[in-house]
Amino acid sequence: MADWVPQQALLDHPATGWYISHGGHNSTLETIMTSIPTILWPIDADQPMNAIHLAENLDIAYELIEVRHGAGAGKIYRTGRTPVGTVDAVKAEFRDVLERAFGEDGARKRKKLAEVRRTLEGAWAEDGPARREVEEFLDAV
């Protein structure tokens, strides 16, 4: 077993179907740009917000809830659900997420992910809106 593996090599490997990630900024962009859907296990910093955005707003990932701890283990106001946090609850959630990920719901999320990737690529294309905004900013400074 390797102590460290370059994440991009792992994401580019044909055997990688889904990726479990904390959902940090770099991992999020790398999974989108390789079209590998994600099962998110956020911990802190930007990760919880990224997880909500990917799982709820974009609907291209799954967020694990039962693994939450500390301040994040309380009631989730957007769903009204409070994580139980037991080993059995975590196992049940993993089983449920994996069944959905490798079923029709996962296929639907994978299609949406491809759309998000195309949008992101287009934003940075020669005439894309993100590129134009950065160029305008650089011209102004």
For each of the domains in the chain, give its residue range(s) and CATH number, in order of start: 7-140 (3.40.50.2000)
| pTM for the full predicted model | 0.84
Mean pLDDT by 10 residues, the chain (141 residues): 83 90 93 94 90 95 87 76 88 96 97 95 91 94 91
Measured CA to CA, the distance from residue 16 to residue 13 in angstroms comes to 6
Largest pairwise CA distance in the chain: 57
Measured CA to CA, the distance from residue 73 to residue 69 in angstroms comes to 5
Measured CA to CA, the distance from residue 129 to residue 117 in angstroms comes to 15
